[in-house]
Amino acid sequence: MEYFVNRLDELNTLDKEYKRLGSSFVVIYGRRRIGKTELITEFIKKHSESMYFLATKESENQNLLSFRNIVADYTKSELLKTSSASWEQTFKVLVEYKTSEKKIIVFDEFQYIGISNPAFPSIMQKIWELVLKKQNIMLILCGSLITQMQKQVLEHNSPLYGRRTAQIRLKQIEFKHYKDFFNNKLTTSKLIPYYAVTGGVPKYIEIFGKYDDIFKGINESILNNSSFLYEEPYFLLQLEVSDIGNYFSLIKSIAFGNRKLSSIATNLGVVQTSLTKYLKVLIDLDLVEREIPITETKPEKSKSGLYKITDNFIAFWFKFVYPYYSYLERGETNYVLEYIKNNFIESYVSFVYEDICRKKMWELNDKDIFGFRFNKIGSHWGKGYKQTDIVALDTINKNIIIGECKYSETEKGLKVLHELEEKAKRLIELTSSKKFCYIIFSKSGFTIGLKDEAKKRGNVILVEEL
């Protein structure tokens, strides 16, 4: 199994910063397990003059002691090990050590020292300005607590604001690269349930990569109370937020289908305005997003917004694990596993499949298979009519693509196309579209009748293999 996949754009950014004349200052941040350290490790493989330091939750003094020892080893300075040099003095020793190549200094989990000493970003600002800025070095500050990295490094009132020459917010691996983890040995249809559980988080993919059966993986690696992922969301959120209980209740409510702000508030027994700050934090953490019908012209004012969990593992855990904790704690794992088996595909994986198909649309767009290129994509819903899974708009030339995503064990036939035509009538009228076409995604393929009809019409595209 491959453990480092894609990240080509991020590696290119790091290469450009390395080649920059003089100093460069790169900030890398993103949630735990997303692959930040692996990205840095892959990058510095090519550069011998690199020094890596991992900060811990210990006191600032203990971190300084560890940093001095690492710098001492790198610069071969035994004297530094027994000294009481400050951060600034230690960085000076590091900079003065002569090398033939540009030095790379990696400061991983930077935010922990800022938590220990809130003045530390100011200390680093001074070090950058007086010691590092005019040297042939590349400084990489990396962190896994998004809110802390924003506060300490990226926000306007941070002492380090404006010093960085590049920043990378590392996101999850997209599904189109997912098969690369498995060396292309598994079919797309088999990978979709795995992706529905792990998302694009490399560490989770690594854990599930050893299982041939998805439910065995769920049983052993999530439902087992001594397993790695059993309490993972607690670890993800406990250092990002203070009142974790309110966030858990909110995420669980969305996971159970309460996607309107009013529905969430009713479900939790609170007023809508009290949820705003929590939703904003979850959106900033890339855990939740607000969706609106694609045809809305003023999205920020739309009253049709729906909230959605964007992280597949978080969505799975809050739908199938967290609500059944009492069963799992009593050892009734088989009961929970059976519930998952009975509901996994229809009430969960099928919705993940829709997201995968919408992203696939951008690849198809690049291949010019629609007769025009769209510039906006989403879905559509409204009072009195069913949701349309895919609506892609060419807003410049007034063209539209209307689509459906079917994740089931049976081939899809003409009925799906006829239902799509009914939905399309309103959308074509609503968008004043001049040209339109249909697209249908089906995990299990299509009947001969639908294939023949698609060939006859020319504006019906059928996609089976993603």
| Complete DSSP assignment for 196-250 | HHHTT-HHHHHHHTT-SSHHHHHIIIIISTTSTTTTHHHHHHHTT-S-HHHHHHH
Report pLDDT digits (tens) over 383-428. Answer: 878 899 999 999 999 999 999 999 999 999 999 999 999 999 999 9
> What's the pLDDT at 73?
96
What span, in angstroms and rounded, lies between the C-alpha atoms of 208 and 200?
Answer: 12
Place of tokens 């298979």: 369
**Sign, Cα dihedral of 305, 147, 232, 360:** positive
CATH 1.10.10.10 for domain 177-351, yes or no, is yes
User: Residue 79: is it exposed, middle or buried by C-beta count within 10 angstroms (0-12/13-18/19+)?
Assistant: exposed
CA–CA separation, 68 vs 81, rounded Å? 6
Distance separating alpha carbons of residues 15 and 202, to the nearest angstrom: 22
| CATH number corresponding to 8-169 | 3.40.50.300
Phi and psi based region of residue 269 (left: phi greater than 0; alpha: psi -120 to 50; beta: remaining) = left
Amino acid at 458: G
The structure tokens listed for 116 are: 């220990």
421-429: list long-range contacts, CB under 8 Å, 24+ apart.
423/385, 423/386, 423/388, 426/385, 427/295, 427/380, 427/388, 427/391, 427/400, 427/402, 428/400, 428/402
pLDDT at position 1, please? 66
- Tell me whether residue 123 is exposed, middle or buried, using C-beta atoms within 10 angstroms of its C-beta: 0 to 12, 13 to 18, 19 or more: middle
Q: How many residues does this entry show for the chain? A: 466
Q: What is the pLDDT of residue 189?
A: 82
Half-sphere exposure of 225 (CA within 13 A, CB side): 12
Q: How far apart are CA 378 and CA 398, in angstroms?
A: 16
Angle 109-114-115 (CA atoms, 0-180°, nearest 5)?
A: 95
- What are the residues whose beta carbons fall under 8 Å from the beta carbon of 272, sequence distance 6 or more? 261, 262, 265
**Phi and psi, residue 62, nearest 5°:** -65, -40
Residue 237, C-beta contacts closer than 8 angstroms, at least 6 positions apart: 244, 247, 248
Neighbours of 270 (CB within 10 A): 15
Residue spans of the domains in the chain: they are 8-169, 177-351, 368-463
Residues 25 and 139: beta-carbon distance below 8 Å:
yes
Residues of the chain with pLDDT under 50: none
| Pairing assessment for the beta strands 166-169 and 137-143 based on DSSP bridges | unpaired
The predicted pLDDT at position 154 comes to: 96
Q: Domain 368-463 - what CATH class?
A: alpha beta
204 burial class (0-12, 13-18, 19+ CB within 10 angstroms)?
A: buried
| CA 26 to chain centroid | 20
Q: Is 462 helix (H, G, I), strand (E, B) or coil?
A: strand
Q: What confidence score (pLDDT) does residue 466 get?
A: 85
The DSSP 8-state label assigned to residue 403 in this structure reads: E
Phi, psi of 21 (to 5 degrees): -65, 135
Partners of 36 in beta bridges: none
